[in-house]
Amino acid sequence: MKLILKIWRQRLPKEKGKFETYFIENVSRDMTFLEMMDSLNEKLIQEDKDPVAFDHDCREGICGCCSMVINGRPHGPGTEITTCQLNMKAFKDGDTIVVEPWRVKSFPVIKDLIVDRSAFEKIMAAGGFVNADVGSAPDANSIKIPKDKSDEAFDAAACIGCGACVAACKNSSAMLFVAAKVSQFALLPQGKTEGLKRAWDMVMKMDELGFGSCTNTGDCEAECPQGISLTHIARLNREFIRAGFHKAAAENK
Amino acid sequence: MTVLNSKIPDGPLSEKWTNHKNSLKLVSPANKKKLDIIMIGTGVAGAAAAASLGEMGYNVKVFCYQDSPRRAHSVAAQGGINAAKNYRNDNDSVYRLFYDMIKGGDFRAREANVYRDAEVSNAVIDQLVAQGVPFAREYGGDLTTRSFGGVQVSRTFYAQGQTGQQVLLGSYNALKRQEAKGTVKMYPRRQMLEIVKIDGKARGIVCRNLINGEIERYSAHAVVLASGGYGTIYFLSTLAVNSSGAAAYAAYKKGAFFANPSFIQIHPSCIPQLNDYQSKLTLMSESLRNDGRVWVPKGKGDKRHPNEISAEERDYYLERRYPAFGNLVPRDIASRAAKERCDAGFGVGETGYAVYLDFSDAIKAQGKKTIKNKYGNLFDLYNKITGEDPYTQPMKIYPAGHYTMGGLWVDYNLMTTVPGLYAIGEANFSDHGANRLGASSLMQGSCDGYFILPYTIGDYLADEINTGKISTDTTEFDLAEKEVKNKIDNLMSIKGNTSAHTFHKKLGKIMWDYCGMARNENGLLKGLEEVTKLEEEFYKDLKITGDTKTINQSLERALRLAASFEISRLLIRDALNRKESCGAHFREEYQTPEGEALRNDEDYSYVAVWEYTGDGKEPKLHKEQLVFENVKVTQRSYK
């Protein structure tokens, strides 16, 4: 296949970026999208040009590094896949493909297609954990958890932290990301003790970092590589509202 | 006379760790605040250790090359994590888990370390559950388990096919909690390039900030390497493409001895290579062999669709050769058996280098829903990559480079031969011998991180409480920084014609052909020659474009590759030295009439420990004799 690639190039965070156009030949339909990018970079190196910088690591859809908007969609065409799992079979000879980084104010571009997702790290540090000191845990089977609850917690916990949900959202909201963590622990007895504080602190941190509000559009769910459901956002909202009442009650005491 | 002191405690095996813990020095809470620890790597071992040490009150500086610690490649471990809980009442015990690992490792691991892992494993599961790790459960609410290769009990806890992700996120969450408390400080997007020693002790690191290219210095009272393995020397492997042994190798060049480098696990079930452009191979969890049956056609070159080949025309070769363990033989054995069938012309797929992993009988017996519940995400992953549906036709699989049992030599305290420098998880060598059993890497990493290193490191740090802050403004740091800068300038100034990516591919092919699943003296010598030749070419013809002041992934890769060449040569030397077959190290000259690995306990019942003696010089071999007091050393049999 021959392809025309329009790729976002930006050398430094503060420099202005722009789209560059590249023509690439001999693209095999068996390649993954990132392997196509590898071969583009080989070509750029041969032409004494700076290769396109992009985050990638495990190349099997689980590390959450890859973060490209391809033809307007985070992780490109297809459902429940990451960019590294996107196959060139999804394109045809002569196609023009537009490749951009996540377009989110809270994820500033570092270089080319690489963005700074440290805002997610800050949200996690605000409460994305269970307070369980090492060495103080009871026997694992002393905590019984119904299978359906446990399975649902797993579905939420499967989040890979890539940020596609934010990139897909017209408001750049991080609600699905936050909901996945809050919901996982809200479903489990281990996470209950500090459950309300978690929901409150993580949402407050998310707002503070400039992520937008949720308007229930559902683009996040549609683009999530792990298929994380909007129902977790509903659970987050319940937890958050309850946290608000508890806070108000505590302050009125 | 060896310089190695493994510090294995005296006394009966089952009391060693307890007695040892009681004899370790302690650091008081007030003094812990005065001590800094550097952690390199944030996989299961590194994240767990950093979180635990932070919780104890030490100041921990954590480094990783990714943008977040949650992306370390432990995240990709699929099948599970072992523990001797005996929840199934199948007569499992700490001793059995220990024995399975010793036997699975083909009697080349250290008894005391392995026993300790087995002993600590139960506390790990308790800890992970307390953190909210959503392991699979029975309808009654109890934790469920499954079985793995090389064992006859069901002791593997799992979270679908994403156990590594869930276990890692458990420790990542704990790490975040410590970050919020201020005991842990994260330094992501850093490439560790040099260990700094002052007065013989590890005192810090020099690393490159991958965003702006700055060379940075960090000091500490102890340095811990949790940097994983070096399996990417094969280029195509199940590892993350940016994983490498470069950090461990930097430690080796600074005086940390390297043990058993040739012990590399080739995992039997990966999706076969589909084309020349491929940048990585994807694992299909060993857990699939609980229900999947491995076969090839009985007829050579049978090109029919697998569903058209009747049961009588199929050779279930693992069940035929190993009736007692069947499809669940250890990985080294399953890999070699697949290679044997394919080399003999019975392989399937376009290249003839694949075998079938078939679930049709399991689906018939248990129903599609049950199978989906157990392996759903793995089946989806396979389908995404190959476009084939494993619910209706067998998977095609073939072995691929996966895990390195070899690594930095450590004593019972997990300290390397450099005082104050520790290695944990896959980066060390001690627990898996010549072959790792499935689901024991998450176990070992977690044991090291949560419960072993946090105690043993105190024994060293207790003598450091009066040291005070360590300055980075010393000649040792100056020198290390200069070395790093020279190295980078050197690579940037070659300005040849070939990219690091291309060199890496070539290295991978040499290593796979001459030092892969089967090795022989001539091949190894040829491999050594070719690696050396390629390395020379690398320093003449490497081409890196872009600059050093912004993200430069070609430079990052070249720096890793420079280490990979040297690791590859060390690996081949080790393979040449070990004139026996054991576990994953299969020397074709040494095999039983049935084609099984033939050990030579008389001459090789030792850990081969290599000391760096200078560039261009032969490394020096030290031997740690292995002593087996609690198991009978036998020819491994799974028949």
Write the DSSP string, B578-612. Answer: --S-BTTB-BTTSB-TTS-B---HHHH-EEEEEE-
Q: Which member of B110, B321, B331, B578 is catalytic?
A: B331
The answer on A155 and A82 residing in a single domain is: no
Of A79, A111, A143, the one marking the end of a domain is A111
B71-82 confidence digits (pLDDT tens): 999 999 998 999
pLDDT in the model for residue B3: 80
pLDDT more than 70, % of chain B: 100
The answer, for B182 touching chain A at a CB cutoff of 8 Å, is no
The answer on A48 and A143 residing in a single domain is: no
Task: Spell out the CATH class of B13-265+403-464.
Answer: alpha beta
B137, closest residue in chain A (CA to CA): A147
- Residue pair B579/B602 in contact by the 8 Å Cβ criterion: no
Q: Which residues in chain A have their CB less than 8 angstroms from residue B73's CB?
A: 57-58, 63
CB contact under 8 A, A57 and B242: yes
Q: Residue B65: what residue type? A: Y
A127-136 confidence digits (pLDDT tens): 999 999 999 9
Helix axes A147-157, A175-186, angle to 10 degrees: 150
pLDDT in the model for residue A252: 85
DSSP state of B274: -
CB contact under 8 A, A59 and B240: yes
Does B593 have pLDDT greater than 70?
yes
B321-379 confidence digits (pLDDT tens): 999 999 999 999 999 999 999 999 999 998 899 999 999 999 999 999 999 988 988 99
A79-138 confidence digits (pLDDT tens): 999 999 999 999 999 999 999 999 999 999 999 999 999 999 999 999 999 999 999 999
pLDDT in the model for residue A47: 97
Does B1 have pLDDT greater than 80?
no
Inter-chain contacts counted by CB atoms under 8 A, chains A and B = 222
pLDDT in the model for residue B243: 97
The answer, for B88 touching chain A at a CB cutoff of 8 Å, is no
- Taking the CA of residue B53 as centre, how many other CA atoms within 13 Å lie in the half-sphere pointing to its CB? 34
Across the interface, which of A60, A125, A158 has its CB nearest the CB of B180?
A125
CB contact under 8 A, A42 and B135: no
Q: Any residues with CB less than 8 A from the CB of B482 and at least 6 apart, and which?
A: none
Burial class (CB in 10 A: 0-12, 13-18, 19+), B55: buried
Token reading at B99:
């024995």
Which CATH number covers residue A216? 1.10.1060.10
Q: Residue B49 phi/psi, 5° resolution?
A: -65, -45
CB contact under 8 A, B76 and A153: no
The answer, for B502 touching chain A at a CB cutoff of 8 Å, is yes
The answer on A133 and A79 residing in a single domain is: no
Note down the domain range covering A100: 3-111
Selected for mutation to probe chain B from A26, A102, A116, A124 (highest B CB count within 10 Å) is A124
Selected for mutation to probe chain A from B143, B235, B277 (highest A CB count within 10 Å) is B277
The answer on A214 and A155 residing in a single domain is: yes
Where helices occur in B303-452 by DSSP H, the ranges are 317-321, 331-343, 360-366, 368-386, 441-446
Burial class (CB in 10 A: 0-12, 13-18, 19+), B216: middle
The answer on A139 and A90 residing in a single domain is: no
Q: Is B331 a catalytic residue?
A: yes
Across the interface, which of B75, B176, B554 has its CB nearest the CB of A128?
B176
B500, closest residue in chain A (CA to CA): A42
Averaged pLDDT of chain A: 96
Total H helices, total E strands in chain B: 18, 19
The answer on A63 and A9 residing in a single domain is: yes
A26, closest residue in chain B (CA to CA): B277
Q: How many CB atoms lie within 10 A of CB B305?
A: 7
ipTM over 0.85: yes
Q: Shortest Cα distance from B481 to chain A (angstroms)?
A: 25
pLDDT mean over B156-173: 96
Among 1.20.58.100, 3.40.640.10, 3.90.1010.10, 3.40.50.300, name the CATH number for the domain at B477-625. Answer: 1.20.58.100
CA torsion, points B392, B398, B402, B404, in degrees to nearest 10? 140
The answer on A121 and A107 residing in a single domain is: no
CB contact under 8 A, B280 and A59: yes
The answer, for B64 touching chain A at a CB cutoff of 8 Å, is no
The answer, for B173 touching chain A at a CB cutoff of 8 Å, is yes
CB contact under 8 A, B179 and A125: yes
DSSP state of B405: S
Q: Which residues pair with residue A173 across a beta bridge?
A: A212
pLDDT more than 90, % of chain A: 96
Q: Which residues in chain A have their CB less than 8 angstroms from residue B497's CB?
A: 46
Q: Which residues in chain B have their CB less than 8 angstroms from residue A226's CB?
A: none
Report the alpha-carbon distance of residue B462 to residue B329 in Å, rounded: 45
The answer on A147 and A219 residing in a single domain is: yes
Selected for mutation to probe chain B from A63, A113, A201, A204 (highest B CB count within 10 Å) is A63
The answer on A197 and A225 residing in a single domain is: yes
Does B591 have pLDDT greater than 80?
yes
Domain spans of chain B, in order of start: 13-265+403-464, 267-401, 477-625
Does B296 have pLDDT greater than 90?
yes
Taking the domain B267-401, which CATH number applies? 3.90.700.10
The answer on A203 and A130 residing in a single domain is: yes
- Spatial CA neighbour of B286 closest among B151, B171, B99: B151
The answer on A125 and A106 residing in a single domain is: no
Which CATH number covers residue A69? 3.10.20.30
CB contact under 8 A, B240 and A146: no
Q: How confident is the model at residue B2 (pLDDT cuts 50, 70, 90)?
A: low
More confident: B301 or B559: B559
Task: Please give the tally of structural domains in chain A.
Answer: 2
Does B563 have pLDDT greater than 60?
yes
pTM of the full structure: 0.97
Report the alpha-carbon distance of residue A48 to residue A37 in Å, rounded: 16
A155-172 confidence digits (pLDDT tens): 999 999 999 999 999 999
Token reading at B512:
């796979």
B404-454 confidence digits (pLDDT tens): 999 999 999 999 999 999 999 999 998 999 999 999 999 999 999 999 999
Report the alpha-carbon distance of residue B499 to residue B561 in Å, rounded: 11
Q: Which residues in chain B have their CB less than 8 angstroms from residue A158's CB?
A: 162, 165
Does B626 have pLDDT greater than 60?
yes
Report the alpha-carbon distance of residue A189 to residue A145 in Å, rounded: 8
DSSP state of B313: G
- Residue pair B256/B616 in contact by the 8 Å Cβ criterion: no
Of A91, A111, A131, the one marking the end of a domain is A111
